[in-house]
Amino acid sequence: MKNMRGFVLLGLAAMAAGAIFAATMTTPPPWAFPVNPPAAPPRNTDTSPKHVPGSSVALTVDQTRDGYNVPDWHPDGHPPMPEVVAHGRKPEVRACGYCHLPNGFGRPENATIAGLPPDYIAQQIADFRSGARISSEPKMGPPVAMVAIAKAVPDPDVSVAAAYFSSLHLKSWIRVVETETVPKTHVSGSMLVPDATGGTEPIGERIIETPENLDRTELRDAASGFIAYAPVGSVDKGAALVTTGAAGKTTACGVCHGQDLRGLGPVPPIAGRSPSYVVRQLVDFQNGTRNGRWSALMKPVVAKLTVSDMVSIAAYTASRTP
């Protein structure tokens, strides 16, 4: 009850802050909101069975691209998937585990949902369905897909999927590396992947989150994680913003998300999660495109943040142990 009273008071303060802080519209940074190029991907002609380390499963490339049959390379690494998680509900509802993976770890273009409170997961579906949650970049494919799925999925399936993903435990999945230069990348599959020709470029004020092993990621191997390149010094700067609020620049995240950033009551954990996703949410909160239940709590938190601040916050939270 004490925590809940605190959330209510914070909510009242947030609503009052709406009259104080003028809305700041932030242009969605392309590296955090990747949009697929218009050209269609080349047709697959490879029908040979594929394998990934640590698995005896064999799947073809086409099988790994079937959104209604989750490519489950590591069936012993998670509980049995419910029907909606493993196969969805044709034709409108893609399998939840296809995008978010059977272990719920997700990928940079969507969300890590392993270990989120089940009521929180269900509320996000409700917000997508109602239009309270959309993306600041309307051309980004995965948020558009989530809106369509949310409008089609039956509530019982939402409850079953939320309970499943909430029961999973996130482990370290993203390696944060501070650097001045990064591999040149392009957008493919709604994420940043290294250019085949190689080369590097200055990182600037960006986080470049890309697969540790592109081949395994393209096969949707849920045991192959990601590397997040961040500007030098961003983790320390993020620590100040996250843990102290940096002298009023924002609110210390632990007030709501827990001192270890592993969640508190209905508020989700943010430690060890995709920094690309975290930046997108901060931008969406600031722009008002994410405006569902509890969103009022975030409005004063993000009101003064620059994209550089968001980069630092995301680098720090991604570097924490889930």
pLDDT in tens, 39-87: 877 788 899 999 999 999 999 999 999 999 999 999 999 999 999 999 9
User: Which whole-number Å values give the CA distances from 72 to 13, 96, 97, 184, 312, in the listed order?
Assistant: 45, 12, 9, 31, 34
160 vs 25, higher pLDDT: 160
Q: With a cut of 70, say whether residue 3 has pLDDT above it.
A: no
Q: Region 103-112: what's the mean pLDDT?
A: 97
CATH superfamily of domain region 2-34+38-172+231-319: Cytochrome c-like domain (1.10.760.10)
Cα within 13 Å of Cα(190), Cβ side: 18
pLDDT attached to residue 189: 94
Would you state the pLDDT for residue 284?
98
Percent of the chain at pLDDT above 70? 93
% of the chain exceeding 90 in pLDDT: 88
Q: What is the pLDDT of residue 21?
A: 39
Q: How far apart are CA 102 and CA 109, in angstroms?
A: 16
Average pLDDT estimate for 94-109: 98
**Can you give the pLDDT at residue 2?**
45
With b meaning 16 or more CB within 10 Å and e meaning fewer, what string describes 148-186? Answer: ebbeebeeebbbbbbebbbebebeebbebebeeebbebe
| pLDDT confidence of residue 113 | 98
Supply the pLDDT for residue 24. 58
Q: Which two tokens stand for residue 55?
A: 């698995």
- pLDDT for 1: 46
Tokens describing residue 95? 């399998």
| pLDDT for position 29 | 98
| Domain residue extents for the chain | 2-34+38-172+231-319
What residue has token string 């969605």?
28
What are the CA-CA distances from residue 161 to residues 86, 96, 135, 166, 284 (Å)? Answer: 10, 8, 23, 8, 25
Around 314, how many Cα atoms within 13 Å sit in the side-chain half-sphere?
A: 30
Strands 226-230 and 174-178: parallel
Partnered with residue 290 across adjacent β-strands are 133
